[in-house]
Structures are given as C-alpha cells and as structure tokens.
Amino acid sequence: MDRKKVYLCFSTDIIHGGHIALIRRAQELGDLIIGVLSDEAVAGYKRFPLVPASERRLMFENIAGVTRVVEQKTLSYRDVLMELRPDFVVHGDNWVHGFQEPIRAEVIEVLSLWGGKLVEFPYSSDDKYRELDRRQRAELAMPDLRRGRLKRLLDMKGFVTAMEAHDGLTGLIVENTAVHENGGARQFDAMWLSSLCDSTARGKPDIELVDMTSRFRTLDDIMEVTTKPIIFDGDTGGLTEHFVYTVRSLERMGVSMVIIEDKTGLKKNSLFGTEVVQTQDSIEHFSEKIRAGCRARRTKDFMICARIESLILEKGQEDALRRAEAFVQAGADSIMIHSRRKDPQEIMDFLEAFRKKDPTTPVVLVPTSFNSVKEEEWKQRGANIVIYANQLMRAAVPAVQRAAETILTHHRAEECDRDLMPFKDIIRLIPEE
C-alpha cells in the first residue's frame, strides 16, 4: 500500500543493457518515476541530443514497470524533486567527484527536507557502451544532422553563442572547451568561419581575395574534426550568379548559416569603417541576391543571414531599419547588425526599434568593439546569436610573436619554454579514431 517513490533521471539517446540494469535495481526500491532531461539541459552539459526529449520520453514510457515519465527541465533536480517528493533518487556513482558534485550535493540537501535518500550504484563504463557513445558523436558530424542544429538550438534556447575557428586545431578548441558552472558545463554552441581570420591565417588581407575554394578547404578541415553547427562568413556573397553556387555548396557540406553583407565592389573589413572607401549595395540589388540564395537552397534548415552595414558606414538607424525590413521581406532568415563603436548604444537602439516591428526574426551581433555587455543582457534586449569573431586569433598572434622574439633575443629556446605548452598536452586535443 505504501510503496516507496523512486526517481531516476536520464539524458541518454539510446537505452542499453547498463541502463536496463540500473532501472531494474531502482524498481526494487519502489515505484519508479523516470525523468528525461530536457534538450536544452543535455546540450548544455554533454552534447547535442540526437533524439529530442519528446522521443526520449516515449522510449522510457515503453519500458515495463516504469510508472511515470516526467521531463526534468534543468540539470538541477530541485524543482522536479520538490514536485515529486520521492523517497529515493537513484544515480550512478560517477558524479561523486567532478563537475556534477554541486548537483549531487543539492539532491542530498533537497531530499533531506522529507527524509529522502540518494542511492548510488556503480557506474557501468563498459567498452561497448563507450563505443556506442563514440558512434553517436560521429553521427552528429553528418551534414544533414549538423546543418539543422543551429535552427534547433535557436528554437530550444532562443540564444546561441558562436566562436571563431580558422583551422582544424582552433575548431577542436571551440568544440571541446568547457567551463564548469553550477554543476553544468558552459560551451560555445556554434562556430564562426570568419573571412578576416581565414584570410589573416593565410597572410592575406580580408578583401575577398581568398577564393571560395580555399575557404571551403578551411571549412572542410574544421568540419572533419568537429560536430558543432557552423556559421560561414560569406563576405558580400559575390555576384548573385556566383552566390547561388556558394549556397548549394555550403548547404551540401552541412553548414547551418551563411551571412552576407550589403556591400559591393572591393570589400574591406568593417572594422576599418569609413577610414577606407567602402560602398554599400542598394536595397534592391542586395534583396535580389537574398531571393536568389533562398531559391537555390534545398532545405529549410540552411539559413541565409543579411548583414547590414549602415551603422559601420555611418548611414544612420533609419537606413539600417529600412534595410532590415526589406531584407527580411526578401527572405532573409536572420539579420546581422554591426557597429565598430565601443559604446553599445547604437546596437541597443537598433534592437529596440527592430523588435517593435519584428519580434521573431533572429538577430546576430558581433560584439568585437562593443564588448562590455554580457550575453544575458543581449538576450534580454532581443538578440539571438552572439559571435566572438576573432578573439582566438588575436590571442595566438602576440603569444607566437613573443616566442619568436624570446628565442632571437637569447640565442636559444630555454627562456621561452616556460610560456609553451608541452606538445604531449597539445596532442591530447586531437582525438584518436
């Protein structure tokens, strides 16, 4: 009559023997309620879920003896435990140490409010389960899955961060860097393939001199070793007749979004602003390029973003807003507004005015100059994607220059060694098949 209530939460995409064994042991303790971690929480702490929460729920609902399945929205168990008030929470013992320690401590604290207990079973880390996980990760790199992930992330979280990568190694750094915060892990959601950094890495100016075939080579190097969605800097998109081919190629490769800017003629980097001659394209011509790109693509997953250069070229807010509206009308899935001022005010003013007219079209920001505002505030103000466009390269260049100068100064490498990472640590960044 007074059977105990047991709670067990899963984030897995597939159910294997190890999970079933854990479920059976949990069932011995009482009536089992299974929690399915939300897509957003899984993406935040582990990797993007291959199977959405709605289907993961179905999977568990069909296991004999599971009394109920609920969604656990956050990594923290607090809300779900307060609602269910279980007698036991069951978990593998793999969270006793490591970044999930605070989540575990909170579970024990919340359960103590009504005398509940945490029961931990040894975590099974069988080789065949590790192999399954490896295969699932590989699946995430396939173009069809990868392309749609930016849209899915935007739907899921409403706000996405992207970090610049300009070769396989920086791609791996963006893919794998994580910091732990409140029992979860913070990672970048996506990657930005910057024209500036791709050109600079080749010792070339950012004037559309590095041709698309070379840019695709960089893209392929990055895609080969990573799984996160990619936003490709398409510069001006070139001639409309060429842009349609670029769209097809990027889409086929599994890129999620191309951003093209409304400039024409010899493109210079926006950070030069009006110090160099730069010509803005007409609304009509650029709209036609967007329309042609939209007609060329084959899937709804691939996004075309129109980048507005009015603030960079000091044409004012009215011009920027008129263009935003026209480009969305032409079919742009998203817009990017850029500024090279330190003061974020003109971007904030744009966001406020744009959101009054258009509450839904995703807005992309590249806060290189206006870098004082935190992501959460941009989200509150209506932005959806923040791109850190060049910081990894700017971190590397001074370090590399310093090493070269130190060796020249001392006629040997010993003095420079303390600033260097041992190669065995660098190799650890590179996964083995």
Determine phi and psi for 361, rounding to 5 degrees.
-60, 125
Q: Does 390 bind ligand SPV (CB under 6 A)?
A: yes
Q: Does 233 bind ligand SPV (CB under 6 A)?
A: yes
Angstrom distance (rounded) from CA 277 to CA 252: 35
Task: Supply the minimum distance, in Å, between the C-beta of residue 390 and ligand SPV.
Answer: 6
The sheet with strand 31-37 has its strands ordered as 66-72, 31-37, 5-10, 88-92, 117-121
Angstrom distance (rounded) from CA 10 to CA 246: 41
Spell out, one character per residue from 348 to 367, where the chain touches ligand SPV: x when CB under 6 A holds, - when not.
------------------x-
Q: Does 236 bind ligand SPV (CB under 6 A)?
A: no
Q: Does 196 bind ligand SPV (CB under 6 A)?
A: yes
Q: Evaluate whether 204 touches 166 at the Cβ level (below 8 Å).
A: no
Amino acid identity of 144?
A: D
Residue 12 or 194 having the CB closest to ligand SPV: 194
**The tokens of 403 are what?**
């090493």
Residue 256 or 390 having the CB closest to ligand SPV: 390
Residue 72 or 195 having the CB closest to Mg ion: 195
* Total residues binding ligand SPV (CB under 6 A): 12
Task: Supply the minimum distance, in Å, between the C-beta of residue 388 and ligand SPV.
Answer: 10
Q: What is the DSSP string of 39-91?
A: HHHHHHHS---SS-HHHHHHHHHTSTTEEEEEEE-SS--HHHHHHH--SEEEE
Q: Does 226 bind Mg ion (CB under 5 A)?
A: no
Q: 93 catalytic, yes or no?
A: no
Q: How far is CA 378 from CA 219, 284, 330, 371, in A?
A: 28, 30, 26, 11
Q: Evaluate whether 322 touches 306 at the Cβ level (below 8 Å).
A: no
Q: Which stretch binds ligand SPV (CB under 6 A): 182-190, 194-202, 250-258, 316-324?
A: 194-202
Angstrom distance (rounded) from CA 158 to CA 160: 7
Q: Which residue is nearest to ligand SPV (CB)?
A: 194
**Catalytic-role residue among 87, 198, 206, 233:** 206
Q: Does 40 bind Mg ion (CB under 5 A)?
A: no
**Which residues lie near ligand SPV (CB under 6 A)?**
194-196, 206, 233, 269-271, 366, 368, 389-390
For the annotated catalytic residues, the residue numbers are 206
Residue numbers at the binding site for Mg ion (CB under 5 A): 195-196, 233
